[in-house]
Amino acid sequence: MTAEAIFDVTAVLGARLAAAVGGPVYVGPPNAEDVGERTLCLFLFHIVVNQAMRNDRHYVARSADPGEPLAEADALPLDLRFLLSVFRSAGAGNGGVADPDELLTLGRAVRALHERPFVELPGQYARVTPEPYPMEEMSRVWGLFPQTSYRTSMVYLVSPVAVTAVPVTAGAPVVHRTDRPGRLLDAPVES
């Protein structure tokens, strides 16, 4: 994966969820006013370095040829936390009663992520896991949007998502070496 890793993972999740709920998914903060016909929101709200994997070696393919050896690449493994929330079709409040469409939409989304708990991208698999989030932490997330009322939500962890440097390809083999006379700058001077 390259620098596009975060974007690619979000796009794959958005497409999977859109297929599950039968319509477009809004990707962005859940305080959006103009969501149109979208009933589901996917919001990347937290990115941290995966502490357990940050010093591990990461290997990537140099080309599309599966027989070619892998190359070690400098990688930064990340944990991405997404807030999955639903938009109410019955309007705000609804007398304190949950909208049945809201619960059905969330159920379809959860089932889609449970049935296929991996995001597969070239050279990498990332696991999609529902993450138990205490109400206090969920309140902090929703506190970022003071003008928006709470919506039924779940938190998902996608890990590891590696942002890698492009591997350096080996140059042509050395076929001729030319020695040049001179003195190395750090070499001791003989008297």
Q: What is the tens place of the pLDDT at every residue in 22-60?
A: 988 999 888 766 666 678 899 999 999 998 887 777 776
| pLDDT at residue 97, rounded to an integer | 55
Residue 8 is encoded by which pair of tokens? 């690619």
Please state, rounded to an integer, the average pLDDT across all residues of the chain.
Answer: 81
76: helix, strand or coil:
strand
Stretch 73-97: mean pLDDT = 75
In the chain, % of residues over pLDDT 90: 35
In the chain, % of residues over pLDDT 70: 71
| Domain ranges for the chain | 5-164
Query: Structure pTM?
Result: 0.75
Hunting for tokens 């989304």 — which residue is that? 109
| pLDDT at residue 57, rounded to an integer | 76
Stretch 48-77: mean pLDDT = 77
Nearest-angstrom CA–CA distance, 61 and 122: 9
Q: Tell me which architecture the domain covering 5-164 has in CATH.
A: 2-Layer Sandwich (3.30)
Residue 113 is encoded by which pair of tokens? 């992520």
| pLDDT at residue 118, rounded to an integer | 95
| pLDDT at residue 110, rounded to an integer | 95
Q: Which residues pair with 82 in a beta bridge?
A: 44, 156
Nearest-angstrom CA–CA distance, 124 and 104: 32
Is-contact 36 89, C-beta < 8 A?
no
Strand-pair category, 118-121 with 124-131: antiparallel
Residue 32: φ, ψ to 5°: -65, 135
Is-contact 77 5, C-beta < 8 A?
no
Nearest-angstrom CA–CA distance, 124 and 56: 14
Encoded amino acid at 153, one letter: S
Q: What does the pLDDT look like over 126-142, one tens digit per residue?
A: 999 999 989 999 989 98
Nearest-angstrom CA–CA distance, 109 and 17: 6
Q: Which helix (DSSP H) or strand (DSSP E) does residue 112 occupy?
A: helix 100-115
Confidence of residue 164 (pLDDT cuts 50, 70, 90): confident
